[in-house]
Amino acid sequence: MIGSMRRHAAQGLPIYVLLIALIVLTGALSEDFRDPGNLQNLADRMAPLAVLALAQTVVILVGGIDLSVGAMVSLVTVILSFTGRDATIGIMTAVPLVLVFGAAFGAINGLGVVALRLDPLIMTLASSAVLQGLALFLRQSPGGLIDPSFADALGQRPLGVPGGFILAILLFALVWMLLSYTRVGRAMYAVGGNLESARGSGIGVDRTRLLAYVLAGLLAAAAGVLLAARIHAGDPVVGNSMTLDSVAAAIVGGTPFPGGSGGPVGTFGGAGLLAIIGNVLNMLNVSAYYQYIIKGLILASALVFFFYRRRETSHALA
């Protein structure tokens, strides 16, 4: 077996050490935590965030960022909330529709970055505002209903594992294979690692970056579908805080700026860590406001960690 894929996965190793330590520690201290019901709940809650972080990972890998993923989630839950009672749109139409919409919107982000040469930060911040506006236009406050049969189907727990969680793992596996075993995946790592070298190697760097944004849009929409099935309703602001979480999960999971290394394996752990911390803080009755502060600190620590590690490795070079 050859490939830096093992190394990219290994970059996520610290997060799993941390994750396991946290699980063991909390599990030992808290009966509530190790309760199977809580663990199922945890897995259930983690799934949408994990998929959203996967979307973020793909764009960070190619040297970009997508700040519109959270708003995409909000909009998707809102669209799907018209599939329940007095459905204006059938669920079998709505789900493919939002996925196609997600991919298409990702393409717009990608074209802005690649063709118009806009900074991804600005481009996706602007598109985030557009998505947010659409969501609020369709539904000013949380409400509506997701087709119950669909929500039930995703709420199944074969062998006790929540359906959404299983879907998330499937998506991670697919993206991991794409990144590890295909030409496109190689190109993504190369583009994020060194744009000029990639161009000089004859790789279609614009195409590759565009594709990453399309994939991110698609995955963000999928995350919205998972979340909608869990909350059963549409909420035009539910995704707001998830953009930060997605960036944090990717970076904590070992896919640092400015791209070219890391990947889905670590991101999954990063999402798990954030979910568990949220779960534990909830059980300890820590207010959501403090949770924001704690997440911010975790993100900052991860950035510092990678900054110093990068410096060390570049020293080793010289």
Partner 1 sequence: MIDVHSAASEAAPLAPASVLEGRGLVKTFPGVRAINEADIACLPGRVLALVGENGAGKSTLCNILGGVLQPDSGEILVHGRPITLRGPQHARSLGIGFVHQEMTLLPQLTVGENIMLNHEPTRFGFVRQRELHTQARRVLEQITHGIDVDEMTYRLPPARLQMVEIAKAWSEQPRILMLDEPTSSLSTVESDHLFDMLRAFKALGTSIVFISHRLDEVFAVADDVMVMKDGQVVAVRPASELTRDDVINLMVGRQMTQAFPPRRTTPAGPPLLELRRLSIGDRVHEVDLSVGAGEIVGLGGLDGQGQRDLVRALFGIEPTRSGEIRVGDRALQIRSPSQAIAAGIAFVPDDRKAEGLVPAMSVAHNMVLSYLRGVTHAGIVDRHRETSFVQRFVTSLDIRTPNLEQKVRTLSGGNQQKVVFAKWLMTDPRVLLLDEPTRGIDVETKMQIYALLRQLADQGRAVLLLSSDMLELIGCCDRIYVIYEGRIAGSLSGGEATEERLMQLGSGLAAAGAA
The contact set with partner 1 (CB under 8 A) reads 1-4, 6-7, 181-187, 189-190, 193-194, 196-204, 260-261, 313-314, 316-318
From the CB of 102, what's the least distance to partner 1, in Å?
22
Alpha carbons within 13 angstroms on the beta-carbon side of residue 164 total 27
CA distance 184 to 147: 36
Sorted by sequence, the CB contacts under 8 Å of residue 30 that are 6+ apart come out as 280, 283
Q: Is 39 or 188 the residue whose CB approaches partner 1 more closely?
A: 188
The least distance separating partner 1 from the CB of residue 176, rounded to whole angstroms, comes to: 13
d(CA 74, CA 70): 7
Token pair recorded at residue 174: 């697919």
Q: Which is nearer to partner 1, 83 or 261 (CB)?
A: 261
Residue type, 180: S
CB of 228 to partner 1, least distance (A): 32
Nearer residue to partner 1 within complex by CB, 159 or 317: 317
The C-alpha atoms of residue 262 and residue 270 are separated, in whole angstroms, by 12
The minimum distance between CB 1 and partner 1, in angstroms, equals: 7
Nearest to 208 by CA among 99, 62, 88, 105: 62
Which residue type is seen at 79? Answer: I
In the complex, the smallest distance separating the C-beta of residue 197 from partner 1, rounded to whole angstroms, is 5
Collapsing DSSP to helix, strand or coil, 143 comes out as strand
Instruction: Tell the smallest beta-carbon distance from residue 194 to partner 1 (Å).
Output: 4
| Cβ atoms 160, 36 nearer than 8 A | yes
Q: Are 152 and 91 in contact (CB under 8 A)?
A: no
Q: Are 188 and 215 in contact (CB under 8 A)?
A: no
What residues are paired with 234 via a beta bridge?
Answer: 143
Cα–Cα distances (Å) from 143 to 97, 149, 154, in that order, read 20, 17, 20
| Shortest spacing between CB 225 and partner 1, in angstroms | 27
